[in-house]
Amino acid sequence: MPKLKTHRGARKRVKQTAGGRFKRHHAYHSHILSKKSRKRKRHLRSAVMASDSDAKVLTRMLPYGL
């Protein structure tokens, strides 16, 4: 059985916490910010944990962690 390759796109976008969960950033915070409210932009700045359904996919994409 060959070694599994890390998905390079996922590796650049996601960090793994010490507990094994995945931390990601919000989308929609890169351009066309003038029409978005201050509150919305402020909340988009913070990182969040990936959902459980996404975490299953990420564990397959990142077989050896980060």
Residue 17: which pLDDT band, with cuts at 50, 70 and 90?
very high
Residue 35 is predicted with a pLDDT of: 97
pTM: 0.82
CA atoms within 13 A on the CB side of 3: 5
On whether the CB atoms of residues 7 and 62 are closer than 8 A, the answer is yes
- pLDDT tens string 19-66: 999 999 999 999 999 999 999 999 999 999 999 999 999 999 998 877
Calculated CA dihedral for residues 40, 42, 46, 50, nearest 10 degrees: 0
Coil/strand/helix, residue 21: coil
Query: DSSP class of residue 51?
Result: P
CATH architecture of 8-61: Irregular (4.10)
Q: What is the pLDDT of residue 65?
A: 74
**How far is the C-alpha of 37 from the C-alpha of 56, rounded, in Å?**
33
